[in-house]
Amino acid sequence: MTHQEAIDWLYELRLLGSKLGLENPRKLAAHAGNPHQLLKIIHVAGTNGKGSVCAMLESIYRAAGYKTGLFTSPHLVSFRERIQVSREPIAETEVVRLTECMQALVRHFPADQPPTFFEVITVMALEHFARAQCDIVLLETGLGGRLDATNIVTPIATVITPIALDHQQYLGETLAQIAAEKAGIIKQGIPALSASQPPEAKAVLEQTGPITFVDAEHATALAGKHQRQNAALAAATVEALQNTLPVKNDSIETALANVHWPARAQVFERDGRKLLLDAVHNPASAEALRGVLAELQSGQRPTLLLGVLADKNWKQMVAILAPLAGRIVCVPVSSERTLSPDELANACRQQNDCEVIAAESLEEGLAAVAKDDFVVITGSIYLLGEAMELLGLAAAVDEKDLNEWKMSRP
């Protein structure tokens, strides 16, 4: 099997859709030898900031000399980003080996109830981390928590990042319902920490048992108040686990000062121009971006290059972001779920009387902003991955379709 053949097989699983439940992932993990039972795991759920907190925790433990495993989703460009050991993406040869293993294990399942893409890659990741003998694994949930495939593990700590409205069609229409799904990763007797939460979500989390709420900020390389809050949550988690995984304070400070997490309030300059890349997928993350722009105090309204998915709360996101811009370029996302640039542009015009352009492609959109001094590229994380490829910030890899998913019937 070649690496491309492995990716193709995983893509076929993705086409089968996704479903919530623990029976299949538990069975698959058991056939794989229950690799998660060999690992120390910090399990992270929440609506916003899961990946950032995982990246911060990984950076801290790696700085302290531990071998780390990092499992996050979705990927920006390459599938291999999802599974990393000490921030080294899984090798293509290992993707092939694990895919061949998974193909053999999937034969134990009825043809009409195969494991999903996410269930398979979760077990692949756990197997990879166990084989690499990782000292600590940072495991991000895919969707929700209670019935997420990652919830087969017994962690050494659980972490809940800020909860907001998102994926309501799967997790519930209210903050309380969504919080109950996220809280499903909390285990009795296991330390639990949470970011500061809206009262409705906090009340639900408090019902699960003892939980530490972290309402603080900590300096970090990532821009924005929300990232300083994420950093404080990561640092508090490390402190709570000092007896299990000792870390010196200077490792925490050094790691947070140097942590890297692409396309999350990522600012860089090119040819004298400032570009900011930030994935925004709900109103709460749009508010966070507004805060970042206020902190930058550039003295100028940026050009906004925006592309969103139609199944998100994009109207409220537009209401938050469009008024900040001096010029707006709307583009499609490389996804069957994209909102048309024309519809997006019409919504932006209702919020701002600046120039608004509807481009037919991201390439056309980037060309339209090529001479603008300050450009904010934002919206779907799928758009950010494609932008990174086109801007030369990442090697071009045709694996974006592996991010696409839909829920199948249980």
Q: How confident is the model at residue 312 (pLDDT cuts 50, 70, 90)?
A: very high
Tokens linked to 300: 């100028």
Q: Across 33-176, where does the E strand assignment appear?
A: 41-45, 68-71, 83-85, 88-89, 136-140, 157-160
pLDDT digits (tens, 9 = 90+) for 356-367: 999 999 999 999
Q: To the nearest whole number, what is the mean pLDDT of the chain?
A: 93
* Location of each CATH 3.40.1190.10 domain in the chain: 3-258
Across 148-155, average pLDDT: 98
Decide if pLDDT at 118 tops 70.
yes
381-393: buried (b, 16+ CB within 10 Å) or exposed (e) per residue?
Answer: bbbbbbbbbeeeb
Percent share of the chain, pLDDT over 70: 96
d(CA 77, CA 85) in angstroms, rounded, equals 18
Q: How confident is the model at residue 112 (pLDDT cuts 50, 70, 90)?
A: confident
Tokens linked to 386: 């494609």
Q: What is the pLDDT of residue 409?
A: 34
* Location of each CATH 3.90.190.20 domain in the chain: 266-393
Across 96-122, average pLDDT: 95
Percent share of the chain, pLDDT over 90: 85
CATH number of 3-258: 3.40.1190.10
Give the number of other Cβ atoms within 10 Å of residue 108's Cβ: 12
Q: What is the pLDDT of residue 144?
A: 87
Quick check: helix, strand or coil at residue 239? helix
Decide if pLDDT at 165 tops 90.
no
Angle between helices 23-31 and 117-131 (to 10 degrees): 40
* CB contact set of 401 (below 8 Å; sequence gap of 6+): 11, 14
- Contact of 180 with 220, CB cutoff 8 Å: no
Tokens linked to 237: 């988690």
Q: How confident is the model at residue 121 (pLDDT cuts 50, 70, 90)?
A: very high
Q: What is the pLDDT of residue 401?
A: 56
d(CA 250, CA 264) in angstroms, rounded, equals 25
Tokens linked to 365: 């959109």
Q: What is the pLDDT of residue 405?
A: 41
**Who wins on pLDDT, 215 or 397?**
215
Q: Which residues on adjacent β-strands are paired with residue 68?
A: 136
DSSP per residue, 151-178: GGS--SEEEE----S--HHHH-SSHHHH
Decide if pLDDT at 410 tops 50.
no
**CATH of 266-393 given 3.40.50.880, 3.20.10.10, 3.90.850.10, 3.90.190.20:** 3.90.190.20
Q: What is the pLDDT of residue 63?
A: 98
Tokens linked to 358: 């509807």
- Contact of 142 with 39, CB cutoff 8 Å: no
Across 158-173, average pLDDT: 87
Q: What is the pLDDT of residue 169?
A: 75
Tokens linked to 276: 């900011």
pLDDT digits (tens, 9 = 90+) for 29-53: 999 999 999 999 999 999 999 999 9
d(CA 200, CA 174) in angstroms, rounded, equals 9
Q: What is the pLDDT of residue 20?
A: 81
* Residue 142 vs residues 28, 44, 201, 403, 405: alpha-carbon distances, Å: 17, 10, 19, 11, 11
Across 67-83, average pLDDT: 96
Tokens linked to 403: 């991010």
Decide if pLDDT at 154 tops 70.
yes
**Who wins on pLDDT, 14 or 301?**
301
Decide if pLDDT at 143 tops 60.
yes
Q: What is the pLDDT of residue 40?
A: 99
d(CA 236, CA 56) in angstroms, rounded, equals 11
Identify the weakest region by mean pLDDT among 4-8, 267-271, 316-320, 331-335.
Answer: 267-271
Please tell me the pTM assigned to this model.
0.93
pLDDT digits (tens, 9 = 90+) for 168-220: 777 888 999 999 999 999 999 999 999 999 999 999 999 999 999 999 999 99
Across 331-338, average pLDDT: 93
Report which residue type is found at 314. Answer: W
Q: What is the pLDDT of residue 16?
A: 72
Which strands, in side-by-side order, build the sheet including 136-140?
Answer: 88-89, 83-85, 68-71, 136-140, 41-45, 157-160, 192-195, 212-214
